[in-house]
Structure 1
Amino acid sequence: MQIKTPDIGVDKATVAEILVKVGDTVDVDDSLVLLESDKASVEVPSTSAGVVKSILVNLGDNVTEGVALVELESEDASSAATEVQQADASEKTSENTPTSLPDQEIMQELTSHQPHQAANSTQASKAASSSSIVEVQVPDIGVEKALVGEILVQVGDVIDVDQSIVVVESDKATVEVPSSVSGIVESIEVHEGDTVKEGVVLIKVKVAGGTQADTVVETPKVENVPAAATKSEPVAEAAPAQSGAIEISVPDLGVDKATVAEILVKVGDTVEADQSIIVVESDKATVEVPSSTAGVIKVIHVELGQKVSEGIALVTIEGKAQADAAPVAAKAEAPKAAVTKAETAPAAPSAQAAATTDNADKLTKEQNAANSKVYAGPAVRKLARELGVILSEVKASGSHARVMKEDLKAYVKTRLTTSQPAPVAAAAVQAAGLPKLPDFSAFGGTEEKAMTRLQQVSVPQLSLNNFIPQVTQFDAADITELEAWRGELKGNFKKEGISLTILAFIAKALAHLLKEEPYFAGHLADDQKSVLLRNEIHMGIAVATPDGLTVPVLRNPDQKSVKQIAVELGELSKKAREKKLSPKDLQGANFTITSLGSIGGTAFTPLVNWPQVAILGISPATMQPVWNGESFDPRLMLPLSLSYDHRVINGADAARFTHKLTKLLADIRTLLL
C-alpha cells in the first residue's frame, strides 16, 4: 500500500528529510517523511505497519495533498511470501533428498495445497487454527479518497457483522463503514483525520476458528470488495422508476423558534435539490431552508409570519425519486446498506443543520486564504465556506489541533444561540420606565401596522443610546480633488464590475486615522474605570434596506487597498439587501460609518452604536464658495458628523479627530507618507 501526503493545511510543501529507507520495518504512526512549508514542519506518519518497499519521493521535491510518499508491503504479505518460498524450497529438497515415508506424505500434502496458499496469502493457514486475525478494509465508497471522521470501536470491543466501525467523510458524503466479520477488535490501524482510500486496512479483528474462519477468509479479498460495494447500485438504478411525496421540515436552526419571513416557491413549482424554498428568521439570524430533493411543490404548509420550530413541515414535494428511493432500498437491504448512507445523508436533519444556507461561498478571498492555514479536512472547509465561518475562531478538538465537523457545528450553534443579555435587560428597564400610550379613539382612532422583524430587533439596541452621554462634532471636508480623482478612476473600475464610491476612500482614511487615535475604536470597560483598546479595526457600514437599517462589518480596512474596500462594500450591500448576511457579518465592529449618500440634508446627529464609543455620519457633498484669502473659490464640501461617548472621548479630542480626517480627505496622498 502507498502512504500519501495528508491534508497538512497548505497548498504544497517540500520534502525536507526522509526518515526511513527501503527494507525498514515500520509500525503504525512511525514517522516516514518530514515535510516543510513556509509556515510549519510536519512529520508524516505511517497509517499501516509493514516493510518499506520503495520510497517514491526525493529530498527537495514539492508535494501536495494525495501525492504518494512511500510504498509499504504489509507484514502479512511479507510473511506469506516467506512461507511460499519455504514451501518451494521444501519441494525442491523432496526431489533430491530421500526422506522417510511420513515425511514424504507430509511434503505431498503441503505440495497439493500450495497453490491455494499462494492465492489466499496467510489467511488460509490462519483459518485452520483455533482463531485468526482478519483485516477489515475500506470498501468502494464511491470517491477516490476520504478522511477518517470518527472511530466507533475500541480495542477489545466485541463486534458483529455489519456493525459500523468507522465513519469516513469526503466533501460529498459521510459514510459509516461496516465490519465484514464478527469477533474481537484486535487493533485499530487508522486514526481520526487520516486520509484513506479503497483497500486501506481500518481494523484487525480476531475471529473464532473453524467454519467461521473459513467464511471470513473470503470477505476481505480485494476482488470481493467492489461486489459488496455494488449492493448500492440497484438503489441508483431503481430510483428513476419510483416517486413519492416528501415533506421538507424545519432543520435544527440552533434556536427554539423562528418566523417564516419569506416563501420562495409556490404550488406547482419545480425545484432542484439544495434549492432554497423558505426563509426563516430569528432575532439572531436569517436562514434559507433548502430542499433535500428535486421535484414539484404539492403543498405549502406554512404562512408568512408563522412561528415554526425544528421538525415542523414546511412543504410537501412530489419527488423525482432520486432522493427518496435510497431510503426505501436501504430498508430492503437492511444492515448491508450501511455503505449507501451517502445516498440518504442529504435527507437527514443532522445534515440539513449543516446546510441551512445555500452552497455559495460566503467568505472573502482573504478569509479563504486564512482558512487554508488551519488544519481541517475538505468537508469541514467546504462547510465553513458555506456558513461563512473563519476556522481560526473555531476551537479544535481533533488530534494535532484539527478542526472537526462537530467543532464547526458547535461554533455555529453557539453564535446563533448566544444573545447579548445586557442590551435586552437594559431595554426592558427602559420600556418599563415609559407610561402607556393614551387612548386615541376620541381623536379618530388608530390602525396598527406591524414593524418589520429588523426594526423590532433594533429597538433594544437603539434604546441603549439613552444611557450614553453623547455629543456630536460637526466639520466639513474639501473633497474637490478627491472627487476629481475618483471620476478618473471609476470608468476602469466599472469595466471590472466595481462601483467606486467616495465611501471607499473615507473608510480607508478613517482606518488610517483610527490607528493613530485608538480610543475612538475602543470600548468603555464594564467597571467604567478603564478603556478596552482593540488590536484590529473592524468597521460597521450602515446599509439601508426595505426592512430597515442593518450594519454589516468591513474587516481590517487598514490592511486593504481602496479597490479591495470598494469590492467588499459592494458585496456587503448586496448581501444586506438580499437578506444573505450571516451572524458573523454583523459582529465585532468597533467603529461605524453611516452615510445619507445623495438623499439630502446638511447634517445630522447619528446615534452611537453601543458598545462602540464613536460613529461618523456623512451628509451629501455640495458645492460651496470658500474664501482663499483673496477671493471665493467653488469647492466641493462634504459635511461630517462625529457622535461620540463623552465618558471616553473629550470634546477637544473629537475636534482634532475630525480636523485630521478633513486633511486626509483633502489630500489623500498623505496616506502614503
Structure 2
Amino acid sequence: MDVKVPDIGDFKDVPVIEVLVKPGDQIAAEAPLVTLESDKATMEVPSPAAGVVREVAVKVGDKVSEGSLIARLDAKERESRSGAKPQEPATPEQPVAASRAGTPPVEHVEPEKPFREAPAKADGRQAPSVDRAEPQKSSVEQPTPRKEYGGPTATIPPPWDEPPLAPAVIDEEAFQKAHAGPGVRKLARELGVDLGRASGSGPKGRILAGDVYKFVKSVMTGAAAPAAAPAPGGLAVAPPPKVDFAKFGPIDTKPLTRIQKIAGPGLHRNWVTIPHVTNHEDADITDLEAFRLALNKEQEVKVTLLAFLMKACVAALQKFPNFNSSLEGDHLVVKKYWNIGFAADTPQGLVVPVLKDADKKGVLAIAKETAELAAKARDGKLSPGDMQGSTFTISSLGGIGGTYFTPIINAPEVAILGASRAQMRPVWSGSDFKPRLMLPLSLSWDHRVVDGAGAARFNTFLAGLLGDARRMLL
C-alpha cells in the first residue's frame, strides 16, 4: 500500500522535519509516519491502516506536496499477525526494536526543548533531528544537555547573544525565489540572512551553506549592508543592543516554540507596515448573557460568547463590506464570503483556526465547530486548511481578563476585533443607575482602507447587535 500526502490545502513543497518510522516498524492505523511544517503549522501524516512499514520514501529536509509518496506499507502483515498473542516485554537479550503499534509519539504536544535529545531511544523511536550548522555556538554549549527549561547560566552569556546577526526583517518574496536547498534555507532563517541578498557559488548560482556564512562575515566586517533589510515602505529597523544579562544576576534562557518562531516575523511585519488605529466600545450584553446561560441548560452544545460575537461580526461585515476586504496595490479586494478566524491560546503558542462560511451557520453550529477547532489547536492537530481563508479575526481575552488592548491586524485582512472580560457596571438609564454587564470591544483597523468615522459606525452597530440579539435576524 502506497501512503501519500493527503490534502494539505494550498501548500506545496512543504518540508519534512521528522521521520517517525523506519522500514520494519509495525504500526497501528492513524499512527504518525512523518511530520511536515508549513509556514503556519506543523502537521503529521498518519498511516491509513495498520501493518508493517516496507519502505520510507522521504527523509528529513525533503519537500512534499499533496499526493507525494511518503512510505509503502505492507497491510497484509496486519492479517498474518492478527492471531498472534500480545507481545511480551522484551528481555535484555531481545531489545524492543521498533514497536510503535498503538503508541503515538508524545513529542509533538510538548513545547520545544532547548536542546536536542540523543539520535535514538531505547524503544526504537527516532528523536527529532534537524540538520543544523551552528559553528558559533560551540564555545557556549555544555557537554550535558539540559532536560528542562532554563537552568543555571549565571556565568555564561545567553546562547542567542553569540550569533553575529540580530533578527532581521526578510523580504519573503525574494527569500522564496532564491536558488537554495532546504538545509540552506533553514540555516539562513536561523542566522537571519535574507537569501535574496546573498550570492550563490554553486551550480547555476545555487546558494550553498558556505555562501550564507560568507554573507554573514561580510556584514560583520562592513563589506555588506546590515542584514536587517528595510521593510516594505522603506522602514529600516535598527538591531537591538546586545547585552550580557548574566553580568547583572542569575538568568534562565528559554527557546521560542516552533509556532513562536514561525509567527514572530509575520507579527512584526504586520505591526510595522500596517497603519493601525484602534477604536474602543462597550457593548451591553446583560440580556445576551442571560439568554446564553439559559440556552446552555437546554442542550448539550456549550455555547460561548464567541459564537454570538462571530454571528454579530458577520452581520456587521455584511453592512460594512470594506472591513471584509484586502488591499492589493491600488485595488481593494472585497470578499463575498465570510470566514472568521479566532485566536486560540495553546501550550505551543498562539494559532488562528478559521470558521468557514460563518454566514451560513447558526449560533449552535458555530459553537460546536469552534469548540472542535480549539481542541485540535490545543492538541497540535490543525491542518493548513483549518487556518486558511479568513476574512476577519476575533481575539478574545474574556476568559483571562483585561479591559482594552490593541490586537494586531492579521494581514492580508484589514481589521481585527479584540474582546476583553465583561464586567458589571452602573449604567445611567435616564432616571437612575442600573447594573449592566458591559463587554469591552477593541477594533483595530487599517487606516489605508478604513477611516475613523467608518470604524465608529462599525463598532456602534456591532454593540447594538450584541445588546439586542434579535437584530442579528434582520
Equivalent residue number for residue 509 of structure 1: 312
Matched, 1:657 2:458: yes
Asked if structure 2 preserves the Cα contact closer than 8 Å seen for 1:252 and 1:310, the reply is no
Give the deviation of 1:637 after TM superposition: 0.5
Equivalent residue number for residue 421 of structure 2: 620
2:247 to 428, 442, 450: 442
Equivalent residue number for residue 290 of structure 1: 46
Distance 1:256 1:570, change over 3 A: closer
Equivalent residue number for residue 542 of structure 1: 343
1:641 to 412, 430, 442: 442
Distance 1:560 1:632, change over 3 A: same
Asked if structure 2 preserves the Cα contact closer than 8 Å seen for 1:480 and 1:637, the reply is yes
Give the deviation of 1:280 after TM superposition: 3.5
Q: What TM-score, normalized by structure 1, do the two folds share?
A: 0.42
Matched, 1:421 2:173: yes
Asked if structure 1 preserves the Cα contact closer than 8 Å seen for 2:277 and 2:446, the reply is yes
| Other structure's SS at 2:421 match | coil
Distance 1:633 1:279, change over 3 A: same
Alpha-carbon RMSD across the aligned residues, in angstroms, is 4.3
Q: For 1:162-201, what aligned pairs fall within 5 Å after superposition? A: none
Kindly provide the amino acid, as one letter, of the partner of residue 45 in structure 2.
Answer: V
2:433 to 616, 629, 632: 632
Matched, 1:259 2:28: no
Asked if structure 2 preserves the Cα contact closer than 8 Å seen for 1:250 and 1:309, the reply is no
More helix by share: 1
Equivalent residue number for residue 309 of structure 1: 62
Q: For 1:334-413, what aligned pairs fall within 5 Å after superposition? A: none
| Other structure's SS at 1:473 match | strand
| Other structure's SS at 2:298 match | helix
| Other structure's SS at 2:366 match | helix
Distance 1:435 1:296, change over 3 A: same
Following the alignment from structure 2 to structure 1, what is the Cα–Cα distance between the partners of residues 437 and 46? 49
| Other structure's SS at 2:413 match | coil
Give the deviation of 1:612 after TM superposition: 0.9
Asked if structure 1 preserves the Cα contact closer than 8 Å seen for 2:52 and 2:77, the reply is no
Q: For 1:13-28, what aligned pairs fall within 5 Å after superposition? A: none
Point out the structure with max Rg over C-alpha. 1
| Other structure's SS at 1:536 match | coil
| Other structure's SS at 2:372 match | helix
Give the deviation of 1:490 after TM superposition: 0.8
Equivalent residue number for residue 161 of structure 1: none
Give the deviation of 1:454 after TM superposition: 1.1
Higher relative contact order (CA 8 A, sep 6+): 2
Following the alignment from structure 1 to structure 2, what is the Cα–Cα distance between the partners of residues 521 and 484? 30
Kindly provide the amino acid, as one letter, of the partner of residue 413 in structure 2.
Answer: Q
Following the alignment from structure 2 to structure 1, what is the Cα–Cα distance between the partners of residues 382 and 312? 26
Following the alignment from structure 1 to structure 2, what is the Cα–Cα distance between the partners of residues 602 and 650? 24
Distance 1:280 1:630, change over 3 A: same
Aligned residues: 325
Q: What TM-score, normalized by structure 2, do the two folds share?
A: 0.59
Q: Structure 1: which 5+ runs fail to align? A: 1-172, 175-247, 326-418
- Deviating beyond 6 angstroms after TM superposition, the runs of 4 or more aligned structure 1 residues are 248-253, 314-320, 422-427
| CA deviation profile, 1:228-261 (whole Å, cap 9, x unmatched) | xxxxxxxxxxxxxxxxxxxx99999953633239
Matched, 1:433 2:234: no
Matched, 1:486 2:292: yes
Equivalent residue number for residue 335 of structure 1: none
Following the alignment from structure 1 to structure 2, what is the Cα–Cα distance between the partners of residues 492 and 549? 32
Give the deviation of 1:434 after TM superposition: 2.8
1:476 to 282, 285, 296: 282
Give the deviation of 1:307 after TM superposition: 4.3
Kindly provide the amino acid, as one letter, of the partner of residue 173 in structure 2.
Answer: P
Distance 1:319 1:669, change over 3 A: closer
Give the deviation of 1:283 after TM superposition: 2.7
Asked if structure 2 preserves the Cα contact closer than 8 Å seen for 1:257 and 1:310, the reply is yes
Following the alignment from structure 1 to structure 2, what is the Cα–Cα distance between the partners of residues 572 and 627? 40
Asked if structure 2 preserves the Cα contact closer than 8 Å seen for 1:292 and 1:323, the reply is no
1:590 to 374, 391, 395: 391
Give the deviation of 1:501 after TM superposition: 0.5
Q: Structure 2: which 5+ runs fail to align? A: 65-69, 82-170, 177-193, 197-227
Equivalent residue number for residue 452 of structure 1: 257
| CA deviation profile, 1:36-66 (whole Å, cap 9, x unmatched) | xxxxxxxxxxxxxxxxxxxxxxxxxxxxxxx
Kindly provide the amino acid, as one letter, of the partner of residue 463 in structure 1.
Answer: H
Equivalent residue number for residue 272 of structure 1: 28
Equivalent residue number for residue 208 of structure 2: none
Equivalent residue number for residue 119 of structure 2: none
| Other structure's SS at 2:408 match | coil
Kindly provide the amino acid, as one letter, of the partner of residue 522 in structure 1.
Answer: S
Kindly provide the amino acid, as one letter, of the partner of residue 309 in structure 1.
Answer: D
Distance 1:586 1:315, change over 3 A: closer
| Other structure's SS at 2:77 match | coil
Give the deviation of 1:629 after TM superposition: 1.9
Distance 1:252 1:258, change over 3 A: farther
Distance 1:479 1:269, change over 3 A: farther
Matched, 1:563 2:364: yes
Give the deviation of 1:279 after TM superposition: 3.4
